Amino acid sequence: MLRTRLYADPAGLFVHDVVLESCRRNAEKTALVDVSSGRRLTYREYGEKAERLGRGLAAAGIKPEEVVAIFLPNSWEFCVAFHAVQLAGAIPTLLNPTYREREVRYQLENSAAVCLITDAGQIAGMNLAGLPNLRKVYTTRQTSAGAESFAELLKPTTASLPRSRQSPEQALAALPYSSGTTGLPKGAMLSHFNLIANVYQLVAPNTSRINGSDRMLCCLPLYHIYGLNVVLNPVLMLGGTLVLVPRFHPEQMMQLLVSEEISMTPLVPPALNAFCQAAEAGTFPRDHKVQWVKCGAAPLAPDLARRFTALTGIPVCQGYGMTEASPVTHVGYLEPELYRPDSIGHPVAQTDCRVLSHSDLDPAEDLDDLTEVPSNQPGELIMRGPQFMRGYWKDPRATAAVLRDGWYWSGDIVTRDREGFYRVVDRRKEMIKYKGFSVAPAEVEAVLMEHPAVKECGVVGRANAAAGEIPVAFIALREGFARSGKLGDELCAFVAERLTHYKQPREIHFVDSVPKTASGKILRRELRKAIA
């Protein structure tokens, strides 16, 4: 069942215009249920708030193509702010709401954000002084010294919304940060065309059952591209209802499945595992209306999907993608004859894929000269399609490393069987996947190297049943420091104070030296062997 046709033509469309058109078409329908505040917004109210906030931003001096940062948990304010920033002609960059000061300052400075929309609790104790471009900070529910009230932006104003000077193919709709295949987080430049094309690929015929009658329960963080463009944008564009919670709590989620008459929910493997355990314990609700579950962001164990379906009757559709692809490139099927829970499925429409021999890859070689592997043999997945980013923000070298002649080099090792089903079997890239979140070893290593006891270090992922992978640090100490469990705990706490929780090493291994190449690059494969 090949996918060749999009839901609609994405050419010439801006994300905010498609959402506002849906608001007019579905005016009296419930668009958003914000569990954190108890607010329920109709499409009419959502559209009015987005337009009012967009005008408020313009009146506050936000200019087209400037960057506005959104540092909020899942909430109606996050959603409205995202589309309002686009309406003002600016570029939203999205920050993980669990970030520490170090991470917040890095993204604000790297993106050159001129405005920050957040809440007092998010920035409590943070020093945001000295950021060269940041002009304004707005807080949503609680006031903060030096910040203005988000409510001020929603007051009526005569300011007009600007007309874009760029086409949707060129204008940036979002600047989410990703570590890509290696290194520190980089801004992925996603255009309006990228995001809409990917939504129209996702909801196209023979692809996904997301539709305008859905009531979708979302615990996925909206700052992450999975929550943003697999949940928020598709639901609002199609006229469905989105029930938002700030984070995954199994008991709350199961109650909401019933009380909100949820038809589908997107999850990551650890959340699906929690639901499966509840079903095994007999606490998963029987009177639900859930038709299917989408699972992505990390590899899904086939046995987990099968157990969950056997216990609940709910089929699981696995998908695959990355921030740089807006994010979806592959989706599985729910049809019984094509149901393969161990597979990421087939590519979405207009997505070309090649699986190249990974034993002899040389970036300097011409693509036409590279060997494509036979069926069922492993190779590196490279892809191209309308959903792939324009490049990394102000980083042409990193862009050139992953985008070559229009093809994106994923860093993932896959197989493709004779029926065209893809399976991810390994990674060439360095990323660690903790509960669906990407952890860049280089970022953790940079923090560890600031500790006076650390002479050198290397960080890799170790397989973990509950989390997928956990970060493990190998550390060589400076003279005068002795190996001990106490020092290991101190090093973990040192990282915890500076980086968000999922980046923290869960294990410390002290070594005499960290294995490296002649050029000084860490030999991560040797570290992985040590904990295999």
Is 8 a domain residue?
A: no
AA identity, residue 245: V
What's the confidence (pLDDT) of residue 456?
Answer: 85
Determine the pLDDT at residue 373.
Answer: 87
Instruction: Judge whether 7 lies within some domain.
Output: no
φ, ψ at 121 (rounded to 5°) = -65, -30
Lowest-confidence region among 65-74, 383-392, 477-486: 477-486
* Separation of alpha carbons 202 and 209, rounded Å: 9
Q: Are strands 292-295 and 316-321 parallel, antiparallel or unpaired?
A: parallel
Exposed/middle/buried for 248, CB within 10 Å: 0-12, 13-18, 19+? middle
Cβ-contact 77, 150 below 8 angstroms: yes
419 close to 339: Cβ distance less than 8 angstroms: no
**Is the residue at 491 inside a domain?**
yes
What is the DSSP secondary structure assignment for residue 366, as one 8-state letter? -
Instruction: Report pLDDT for 364.
Output: 61
Which token pair is 522? 């860490």
- Number of helices (H) and strands (E), helices first, in the chain? 16, 28
Residue with tokens 């003279």: 479
- Identify the burial level of 213 via C-beta atoms within 10 angstroms of its C-beta, where 0-12 means exposed, 13-18 middle and 19 or more buried: exposed
Determine, yes or no, domain membership for 467: yes
List 233's β-bridge partners, or say none.
none
In whole angstroms, what is the distance from residue 104 CA to residue 1 CA? 44
* Alpha-helix residue ranges (DSSP H) falling in 285-369: 302-312
Better-scored residue on pLDDT, 481 or 270: 481
- What is the pLDDT at residue 382? 95
What's 82's domain CATH number? 3.40.50.980
| Residues β-bridged to residue 295 | 267, 318
User: Does residue 505 lie within any of the structural domains?
Assistant: yes
Predicted pLDDT of residue 439: 86
CATH of the domain at 475: 3.30.300.30
**What is residue 532's predicted lDDT score, i.e. its pLDDT?**
79
Q: 65, 237, 88, 225: which is closest to 162 by C-alpha? A: 88
- What rounded mean pLDDT belongs to the chain? 92
pLDDT above 60: residue 360: no
Q: How far is residue 238's CA from residue 369's CA, in Å, rounded to a whole number?
A: 43
Q: Which of 148, 165, 182 is the last residue of a domain?
A: 165
User: Is the separation of the CB atoms in 231 and 202 below 8 Å?
Assistant: no
Q: Which of 33-47, 153-167, 178-192, 409-423 has the highest mean pLDDT?
A: 33-47
pLDDT band of 519, cuts 50, 70, 90: low
Lowest-confidence region among 56-60, 116-120, 358-362, 514-518: 358-362
Q: How does DSSP classify residue 137? A: E
Q: Are strands 422-427 and 454-464 parallel, antiparallel or unpaired?
A: unpaired
Q: Give the domain-ending residue among 131, 165, 199.
A: 165
**Share in percent of the chain as helix, strand, coil (round to 5):** 30, 25, 45
d(CA 30, CA 243): 10
Among 173, 140, 136, smallest CA distance to 154 is for: 140
DSSP state of 395: -
In this prediction the pTM is 0.87
pLDDT score for 361: 55
Q: In 3D, which of 85, 88, 87 has the Cα closest to residue 77?
A: 85
32: number of CA atoms within 13 Å, CB side?
Answer: 29
The CA distance from 230 to 266, in Å, is 8
Task: Evaluate whether residue 369 is within a structural domain.
Answer: no
pLDDT digits (tens, 9 = 90+) for 432-457: 888 878 888 878 887 888 899 998 88
- Count of Cβ atoms closer than 10 Å to residue 132 Cβ: 7
- Could you report how far apart the first and last alpha carbons of the chain are, in Å? 39
CB atoms within 10 A of CB 464: 14
Number of domains in the chain: 2
Cα separation, 416 vs 398, whole angstroms: 28
Last residue of a domain, one of 143, 165, 187: 165
Q: How far apart are CA 427 and CA 322, in angstroms?
A: 13
For residues 21 and 83, give the distance between their C-alpha atoms in angstroms, rounded to a whole number.
Answer: 13
Average pLDDT in the 144-171 region? 94
Does a structural domain hold residue 160?
yes
Residue 256 lies in a domain: no
pLDDT at 505 over 70: yes
The predicted pLDDT at position 438 comes to 80
Of 24, 390, 391, 388, which is closest to residue 197 (Cα–Cα)? 388
pLDDT digits (tens, 9 = 90+) for 214-268: 999 999 999 999 999 999 999 999 999 999 999 999 999 999 999 999 999 999 8
Q: Bigger pLDDT: 305 or 195? A: 195
The stretch 323-335 carries a mean pLDDT of: 95
DSSP letter at 228 equals I
Mean pLDDT of 508-531: 82
Domain range spanning residue 112? Answer: 13-24+40-165
